[in-house]
């Protein structure tokens, strides 16, 4: 059995530390004993240190939603990957479409990925097309995101990489508007072919996960028939019972 990853992206929620602690405690108390799932929670940065101080177990791992491409220097308002690593975070989400919508380019994402992996963080590298077209131009878009995002990324660091396929047209939608399992399986194969072209057989070992309208009602199909290694969960990760159900479904699958 290969490990699965269920990653919570809380985005800019909740509104207070008290609410964040309540949400985290409900998830923590509801978690079953897991056989083969890594649960990773990425809260807003202002809550990260406090939540980590309140938890001493290993059933939940912590990550951040963003980091900078330098470790130290005159960069007001930024957070370096080394600082995150020293804090105790183990993962960071990079290249998310909501960051790209604010102006992040493939080149900036590339610098962030290399800096984060170099600092010892595991990188959740997000890719995804805004829309699909009959000519298949979106495939070229995805290929460009991957190749430019991983330019100069060494084969030795592949163990720190996960790729999250998040079609922008599915993010924030209802569960029945997620990518179909057939489409997801096709995209997984496409992504792995690109990774193989860049890194040889070792590229085929990079976990591919899915994000975009994942929910309890579609988690089993996405994971089993889509054949991905996990889910990057947005809105549903803010609903403790739903997030726990997604985790249980993932843990029940081979």
What is the set of active-site residues?
96, 166
Cα 68–chain centre separation: 17
By the 8 A CB rule, do 96 and 68 touch? Answer: no
Q: Look-up: residue for tokens 């993962």?
A: 91
Q: Strand 230-233 vs strand 4-9: parallel, antiparallel, or unpaired?
A: parallel
Q: How many CB atoms lie within 10 A of CB 231?
A: 30
By the 8 A CB rule, do 214 and 236 touch? Answer: yes
Q: Is residue 124 classed as helix, strand or coil in its secondary structure?
A: strand
How many Cα atoms sit within 13 Å of 105 on the Cβ side? Answer: 3
Give the Cα separation of 80 and 208 in Å (integer): 25
By the 8 A CB rule, do 73 and 92 touch? Answer: no
Q: Look-up: residue for tokens 């081979």?
A: 254
Q: Look-up: residue for tokens 């997801």?
A: 184
């Amino acid at each position: 059995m290969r490990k699965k990853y269920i990653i919570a992206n809380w985005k800019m929620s909740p509104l207070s530390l008290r609410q964040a602690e309540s949400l985290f405690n409900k998830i923590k108390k509801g978690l079953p004993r897991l056989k083969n799932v890594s649960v990773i929670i990425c809260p807003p940065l202002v809550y990260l240190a406090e939540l980590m101080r309140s938890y001493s177990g290993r059933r939940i791992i912590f990550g951040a939603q963003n980091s900078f491409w330098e470790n130290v220097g005159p960069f007001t308002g930024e957070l370096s990957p080394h600082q995150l690593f020293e804090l105790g975070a183990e993962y960071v989400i990079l290249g998310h479409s909501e960051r790209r919508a604010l102006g992040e380019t493939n080149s900036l994402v590339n610098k962030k990925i290399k800096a984060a992996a170099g600092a010892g963080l595991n990188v959740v590298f997000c890719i995804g097309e805004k829309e699909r077209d009959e000519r298949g131009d979106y495939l070229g878009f995805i290929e460009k995101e991957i190749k430019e995002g991983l330019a100069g990324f060494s084969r030795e660091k592949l163990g720190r990489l996960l790729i999250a396929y998040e079609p922008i047209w599915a993010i924030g939608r209802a569960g029945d508007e997620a990518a179909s399992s057939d489409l997801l399986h096709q995209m997984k194969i496409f992504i792995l072919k690109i990774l193989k072209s860049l890194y040889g057989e070792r590229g085929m070992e990079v976990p591919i996960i899915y994000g975009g309208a994942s929910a309890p009602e579609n988690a089993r199909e996405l994971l089993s028939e889509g054949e991905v290694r996990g889910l990057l969960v947005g809105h549903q990760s803010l609903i403790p019972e739903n997030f726990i159900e997604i985790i249980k479904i993932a843990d029940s699958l081979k």
